[in-house]
Amino acid sequence: MTLERTPLDTLHRELGAKMVPFAGYEMPVQYPTGIIKEHLHTRAAAGLFDVSHMGQAFLRGAGSTALLESLVPVDLEALQDDRSTYALLTNEAGGVRDDLIITRRGPEEFFFVVNAACKAEDFAHIASHLAGQTLEILEQQALLALQGPAAREVMATLCPAAADLVFMQGLEARIDGVEVYITCSGYTGEDGFEISLPSDAADALARRLLCHDLVEPIGLGARDSLRLEAGLCLYGHELAADINPVQAGLVWSISKARREGGARPGGFPGADAIFAAIADKPPRVRVGLKADGKRPLRDGQPVADEAGREVGAISSACFGASVGGPVAMAYVDRAVAEAGTALLVTVRDKQLPVTVTKLPFIEQRYFRG
């Protein structure tokens, strides 16, 4: 299989990145400084991430709002121009096809970003529901993420207006004569921005950002540990076709207007199954786990109660550099899901003590104004 490359491929290699296959692309997993230092730098200053492998598209035309509302459990009618929302593409069983960010760009115009591994299926799914609308897939568009407490200071030097954005708000702008769209969003739990721009302009902007003393390049390894500490789900781990939003702790992503008793209840795939899960409470739910020692946890490891009875499995795990030890997210039986519960994880035929921990592991520091 031939792997694709992002517009920043040459830059990654110049910077000494270790490149790995990811979602059909060659991507930087880390740079010479290493994952832990990249993680801590993002928490302390600003990290630059290449997320150009993700899917970007526009949906335009009369009925676009209604079309998207038939696919996601979100009140898009109430979404204002240049405002973004987190959304789930659900399936008929109430599971999750993918998660995405939707931004309203006009009365019947939406911009959205989907996961790289799912983008072909997502776009085909949306396209199959078109009824006169236009789906424009942005094949020649890059996406950069600038994340961390110093991201706003750095952004002010490039685009002062963007430095005034609040979480989940966006604007059109020009940087060095290039048209870009900037949103205040990200996947680290920190304040930050995502910049959508033409592929042929991405290298120059990335190099300009990296000239700033506060900015360092960050790879996929630290991106994963940052999002895990922030309690953010990853498709294929915490989200899947057989995991519903209630199990995942994402009931908040189902707008009140789209719930039972709301102004426009249901109308999205799997609505009845999701409403039943809200009412009945699923037997297994997502929790955080902290290891009592330093031994690493791994995805897929079984979780047991103190009597040795299997009660779940780890969905994601890493060394939490900001937490100072191994952390994980897992799906466990509701009976053992309360914070403070002592559990065991099987690691190479040994039982490692862990403690159920409230998510997120670190405080989310989104700028809300």
Confirm whether 1-282 and 283-362 share one CATH topology: no
Domain 283-362 has CATH 2.40.30.110: yes
Structure tokens given for 139: 């094949």
Residue 249 to residues 228, 231, 235, 288, Cα–Cα distance (Å):
14, 10, 14, 11
Alpha-helical regions (H) of the chain: 9-14, 35-44, 64-69, 119-127, 151-158, 199-210, 220-229, 271-280
CA atoms within 13 A on the CB side of 127: 10
Mean pLDDT, residues 20-38 taken together: 98
Q: Cα 65–188–202 angle (5° rounding)?
A: 75
Residue 1 clears pLDDT 80, i.e. is over it:
no
Q: How many helices (H) and strands (E) in the chain?
A: 8, 20
Q: What is the pLDDT of residue 349?
A: 81
Query: What strands, in cross-sheet order, belong to the sheet with 96-106?
Result: 84-90, 96-106, 109-114, 55-60, 134-137
Whether the bond into 73 is cis, omega within 30 of 0: no
Mean pLDDT, residues 348-357 taken together: 93
Strands 178-183 and 170-175: antiparallel
For the chain, the structural domain boundaries read: 1-282, 283-362
pLDDT tens-digit readout, 240-284: 999 999 999 999 999 999 999 999 999 999 999 999 999 999 999
193 vs 292, more confident: 193
Structure tokens given for 340: 């403070």
Q: What is the CATH number of domain 1-282?
A: 3.30.1360.120
Burial label, 20 (beta-carbon count in 10 A; 0-12, 13-18, 19+): middle
Confidence band for 298, pLDDT divided at 50, 70 and 90 = very high
Q: Which amino acid is at 45?
A: A
Q: What is the pLDDT of residue 252?
A: 98
Structure tokens given for 324: 């100072």
Mean pLDDT, residues 50-75 taken together: 98
pLDDT tens-digit readout, 203-236: 999 999 999 999 999 999 999 999 999 999 999 9
Residue 112 clears pLDDT 80, i.e. is over it:
yes
Biggest alpha carbon distance in the chain? 64
Q: What is the pLDDT of residue 368?
A: 96
pLDDT tens-digit readout, 327-339: 999 999 999 999 9
76 CA to centre of own chain:
20
Confidence band for 347, pLDDT divided at 50, 70 and 90 = confident
Q: Residue 11 contacts by C-beta under 8 Å, 6 or more apart in sequence?
A: 203, 206, 207
Mean pLDDT, residues 81-103 taken together: 98
pLDDT tens-digit readout, 165-192: 999 999 999 999 999 999 999 999 999 9
β-pair partners for 98: 89
